[in-house]
Structure formats: structure tokens, C-alpha cells
Amino acid sequence: MLPSQFHSRRRAFLRALGGAMAVPVLDRMIPGALAQTAAPDWHVTAAVAESCSCNISCPCNFGSEPTRMPCNGNRLISMKSAHLGDVDLSGVAFLVTFAMRGWSKIYLSDQTNERQTAAVRALLPIAFAGFHKGMLSFTKAPLAVEITEKKVSFSVPESSVEMEMMRGFDGKPVKVLNLPNPAYQDYTQYRSIVLRHESADQHFSYSGTTGFTSKMDVGRKS
């Protein structure tokens, strides 16, 4: 195979895996060391909060099919300690609005700088698999988050979640341990009060559906 044919096929393969943005983001949007390699060091520890249209508790977290299709939801990812190459992503947060196996819209906090924005885009197919598929938009927006002992709420202008913690025996939070997905560790069960999205091309609204908070810790070294 000629070198030109190899590189042409490689580019086509990468586009099929990660969509058209996966290669350009690393090659053109992140300056310096990240442009030198297709797989820079990366690591993400984050707090996760989500509500979706499934009944309580969402069977997807246990490897089963959702109770309602399309499964619509809003997920908050707030990175506590994170990097991609030499780009520090600590403190960066974004909200994903989605229809499972359908479409997604990603709202990155408007406090994020340009290098962080490019790094988040590059991380979508490797650290947050699935969110980049069917992506309708990737925009910056004011992101509000409020956490109390009983409730969690987060929102951007088009999407919002308010959910209350579910209590079990002796009034303690309902928790699930050792779920198979690394994004669902230290899982605490919630019930939605508000789960909504309203934009020009998509909309949904639910209440009384499942919700959760969790922690994720994922990454790799090259």
C-alpha cells in the first residue's frame, strides 16, 4: 500500500470513530505539545449529576435497556482535577442534553477559555464516549449549579434539572456501590422534580423520573 493510501484510509477510519471533529480538534485547535500526538496523556476526575426519563432506578446503569425510549436527559459533568496533555481542565464544567442513541447538545460553561474548550471537544470521544455521536451543537452558555443537603439543580438557558435525594432506611441516602461503569461510582439515587429542555428543534419535560449523582475517575498514560 502506498503511504498516501495508508494515510487516506487512516483519516477515514478516525472520522468513522469520532466524527469529523475528532482529528481536526487535536491537529489544529490545541497549540503546542498536543498537536504533536494523536493520543496525549489525559485524566479526568469529575462529579456527575444526571436526570433522565427512565423510571427509578435507571436500568442503563446496570447494563439493561431504558424504561422509556427515546430516553431523554440532562447530565452535568463538573471536572475537579483533569487535564489533556498540558491543558489544565480543573474546574471546567459542561451540561449534556441528549436523546439516547439519537442526538446530543453540549453546553460548555462560558467561563472556559479557548484552549480548554478545544481540549473538552477532543476528550468527548475518548473520556465521554457517546456524547459526540449525533451532536447537534457544541456551544458556550452560562451554567448554574446549586447543591444542598437535599437537592441538586443545574441549568443552562435551554436545559434544566432539579432533583431531590431519595432517602432509605433510617433516613440515609439510597446508594448503589460498584456499578460496572467508572462514571457511576459512589452512586446516590435522586428523583427528578424538573427535567426539561426547550430549544428551536428539540424539547422534552418530565417529573418524578430517575436521577443520580456519582463520581468518575478515568484516564490513560501514553
* 41-76 pLDDT, tens digit each: 999 999 999 999 999 988 888 888 888 889 999 999
Contact criterion met (CB below 8 Å) for 119 and 31 = no
Its pTM stands at 0.80
pLDDT at 62: 81
pLDDT at 86: 95
Beta-bridge partner residues of 218:
44
6 pLDDT above the threshold of 60 = no
22 pLDDT above the threshold of 80 = no
pLDDT at 130: 76
Whether the link from the prior residue into 57 is cis, omega within 30° of 0, is yes
Contact criterion met (CB below 8 Å) for 188 and 175 = yes
Count of domains observed in the chain: 1
- CA angle centred on 133, ends 130 and 138, rounded to 5°: 105
Whether the link from the prior residue into 70 is cis, omega within 30° of 0, is yes
pLDDT in tens, 75-113: 999 999 999 999 999 999 999 999 998 999 999 999 999
Distance CA 145, CA 111 (A): 13
Contact criterion met (CB below 8 Å) for 109 and 77 = no
pLDDT at 39: 63
Kindly report the number of other CB atoms within 10 A of residue 101's CB atom: 12
pLDDT in tens, 124-182: 998 887 787 899 999 999 999 999 999 999 999 999 999 999 999 889 999 999 988 88
Secondary element (H or E) of residue 211: strand 210-220
Residue 132: burial class (beta carbons within 10 Å; 0-12, 13-18, 19+): buried
User: Which structural domain, as residue segments, surrounds residue 53?
Assistant: 3-220
Secondary element (H or E) of residue 194: strand 185-198
Residue 117: burial class (beta carbons within 10 Å; 0-12, 13-18, 19+): buried
